[in-house]
């Protein structure tokens, strides 16, 4: 067999020919989604090549040749999206093919001590790690907007509801900050998932290790991982688990953002009239000239609701699978990659739209909300010495006789109340969480890998 034929073979091909229908079905949508993994595949190969050279599995000269070629391929990827050629199975095969074309027999050694199983695992870990950083940046931006809006509107009252009944006075400061704190807790969960993902699976091979004297600590260090997956079987069990954990995090953020979108749709309606959307952020009706529809928030709500089903979808794909690799994992990319993009779009729109919302400053002046102040009236009586239950009945009697008058002012001072939002504490807590990710260290480590000569 000549060299050209050898280069064009699939990584796993041994002379047999696969039926085109089977090949097309098993490849699936890999060529579409694999383009996102190109740069991470090169990063993983750079670390792997250096480790092979440092351990003497290949020569220093071979290692240098591989790394030089890989750096050139990386630069090509950064300039434009790397195309997967016809007849090439996936991005991993494409990069190995390019490497072999450039370096000849040396290029064929890049797969020494490595399976496509741990190669793909690694690519996904590197990809998800960077996507989490991107997600965290957007979440932090939205968090800061919510805190800012909370501070600007902390004196503006609106009714708080229980059982869909006007219940007690609330404020826009309280409402905006509630979603900020929800994002804070969602980010704690995101950091926990990041720590699980930030472990090196490379060296687990097909799931059972390798007879080569690999130094997995080297690739762990070169790729900026916090640690490694030590057990090679468990490393392979990370496929499916990683995607499920990310899906759960996305579901948590979706629940927070979707609920806020629902509030905005509700508050924007004429029945509530708590806030207004600028005309430029609404759409109209083909038949009703007066309509100004909050479509953007309705679609955010719908997308976030759909995203909350994602963890179950991911779970069911692998629900009955034993340990070890299975091709079932391949289709997870078709769910988790688009879900990340959906979340970015929803966050981008919330970041764009929220500062433009117009808050109604006079909501609670409407007499229909006067009874929301009944608890404050009860509390005033208690402060002046009336037992709580007696005060409760006195105010209830006033309400029944329609003689109730709301208090002249409110006195809410405890932590987390309208008069004491604790937004500075929330900001401090978010900063501590963000610092715990260690994104800067990862970036610096990968930059050092790319500067190897």
Angle, helices 333-353 vs 232-268, to 10°: value is: 40
Helix (H) or strand (E) run with residue 359 in it? strand 358-359
Residues ≥6 apart with Cβ < 8 Å to 419: 410, 411, 412, 413
The Cβ of residue 318 has, within 10 Å, a number of other Cβ atoms equal to 17
pLDDT in tens, 23-65: 667 666 667 778 889 999 999 999 999 999 999 999 999 999 9
Encoded tokens for 264 = 């905005």
- pLDDT for the residue numbered 27: 67
Per-residue model confidence (pLDDT) at position 102:
94
Q: If you average pLDDT over residues 303-319, what whole number do you get?
A: 96
| Exposure on the CB side of residue 187, measured as CA atoms within 13 A | 28
- Given a contact cutoff of 8 angstroms between Cβ atoms, the answer to whether 135 and 128 are in contact is no
> Are 420 and 413 within 8 A, CB to CB?
yes
User: In a 3-state reduction of DSSP, which class is residue 2?
Assistant: coil
Give Cα separations from 156 to 239, 243, 369 (angstroms): 49, 42, 14
Average pLDDT estimate for 315-323: 93
Share of the chain above pLDDT 70, in %: 94
Lookup: tokens for 425: 């504490």
Strands 227-228 and 199-200: parallel
Say how far apart CA 174 and CA 162 lie, in whole Å.
15
106 neighbors 66 (Cβ within 8 angstroms): yes
Alpha-carbon span 276 to 359, nearest angstrom: 7
- Spell out the residues 6+ positions from residue 426 whose beta carbon is closer than 8 angstroms to its own: 147, 177, 180, 181, 184
Q: For the residues 312-334, what does the mean pLDDT come to?
A: 93
**Distance between CA 183 and CA 186 in Å, rounded?**
5
> Is residue 108 classed as helix, strand or coil in its secondary structure?
helix
199-237 confidence digits (pLDDT tens): 999 999 999 999 999 999 999 999 999 999 999 999 999
Among the ranges 87-91, 311-315, 409-413, which has the highest mean pLDDT value?
311-315
C-alpha dihedral (229, 224, 333, 203), degrees to nearest 10: -40
Which residue, 65, 76, 6, is CA-closest to 39? 76
Structural domains of the chain in order of their starting residue, each with its CATH number = 3-112 (1.10.275.10), 117-206+229-363+422-450 (1.20.200.10), 366-417 (no CATH)
Question: Which band of pLDDT confidence, cut at 50, 70 and 90, is reported for residue 16?
Answer: low
Cβ 349 vs Cβ 296: under 8 Å: yes
What is the chain's mean pLDDT, rounded? 92
Dihedral, 43, 44, 50, 51 alpha carbons, nearest 10: 160
Instruction: Report yes or no: 240 and 329 within 8 Å, Cβ to Cβ.
Output: yes
pLDDT at 28: 67
* DSSP per-residue codes, 284-323: --SS-TT--B-HHHHHHHHHHHHHTTHHHHHHHHTTT--S
Residue 25: C-alpha distances to residues 10, 28, 219, 314 (Å): 16, 5, 34, 20
pLDDT band of residue 365 (cuts 50, 70, 90) is very high
Question: For residue 315, is pLDDT > 50?
Answer: yes
What value does the mean pLDDT take over residues 291-299? 92
pLDDT tens digit sequence for 402-434: 999 999 889 999 999 999 999 999 999 999 999
The answer, yes or no, to whether residue 392 has pLDDT greater than 90, is yes
- What is the rounded distance in angstroms from the CA atom of residue 77 to the CA atom of residue 57? 28
Q: Can you give the pTM of this predicted structure?
A: 0.92
């Amino acid at each position: 067999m000549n060299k050209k034929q050898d280069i064009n073979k699939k990584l796993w091909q041994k002379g047999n020919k696969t039926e085109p229908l089977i090949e097309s079905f098993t490849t699936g949508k890999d060529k579409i989604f694999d383009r996102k993994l190109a740069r991470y595949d090169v990063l993983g190969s750079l670390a792997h090549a250096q480790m092979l050279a440092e351990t003497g599995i290949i020569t220093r000269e071979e290692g240098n040749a591989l790394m030089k070629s890989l750096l050139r391929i990386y630069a090509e990827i950064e300039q434009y999206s790397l195309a997967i050629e016809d007849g090439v199975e996936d991005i991993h095969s494409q990069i190995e093919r390019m490497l072999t074309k450039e370096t000849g027999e040396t290029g064929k050694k890049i797969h020494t001590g490595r399976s496509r199983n741990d190669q793909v695992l690694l690519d996904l870990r590197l990809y998800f790690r960077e996507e989490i950083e991107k997600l965290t940046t957007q979440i932090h931006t939205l968090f800061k907007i919510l805190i800012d809006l909370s501070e600007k509107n902390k004196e503006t009252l609106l009714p708080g509801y229980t059982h869909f009944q006007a219940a007690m006075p609330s404020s826009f400061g309280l409402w905006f900050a509630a979603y900020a704190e929800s994002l804070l807790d969602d980010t704690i969960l995101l950091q926990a998932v990041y720590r699980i993902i930030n472990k090196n699976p490379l060296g687990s091979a097909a799931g059972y290790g390798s007879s080569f004297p690999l130094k997995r600590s080297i690739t762990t260090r070169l790729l900026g991982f916090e640690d490694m997956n030590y057990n090679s079987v468990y490393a392979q069990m990370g496929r499916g688990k990683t995607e499920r954990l990310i899906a759960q995090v996305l579901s948590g953020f979706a629940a927070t953002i979707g609920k806020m979108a629902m509030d905005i749709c509700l508050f924007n309606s004429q029945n509530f009239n708590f806030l207004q959307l600028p005309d430029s952020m609404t759409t109209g009706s083909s038949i009703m000239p007066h309509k100004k529809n909050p479509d953007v928030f309705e679609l955010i709500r719908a997308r976030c609701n759909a995203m909350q089903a994602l963890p179950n979808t991911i779970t069911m794909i692998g629900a009955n699978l034993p340990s070890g690799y299975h091709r079932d994992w391949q289709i997870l990319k078709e769910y988790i990659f688009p879900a990340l993009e959906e979340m970015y779009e929803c966050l981008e729109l919330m970041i764009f739209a929220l500062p433009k919302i117009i808050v109604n400053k006079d909501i609670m002046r409407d007499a229909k909300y006067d009874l929301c102040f009944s608890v404050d009236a009860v509390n005033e009586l208690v402060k002046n010495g009336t037992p709580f239950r007696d005060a409760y009945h006195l105010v209830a009697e006033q309400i029944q006789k329609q003689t109730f008058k709301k208090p002249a002012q409110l006195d809410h001072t405890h932590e987390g109340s309208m008069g004491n939002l604790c937004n500075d504490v929330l900001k401090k807590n978010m900063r501590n969480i963000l610092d715990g990710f260690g994104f800067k260290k990862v970036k610096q480590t990968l930059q050092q890998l790319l500067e190897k000569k």
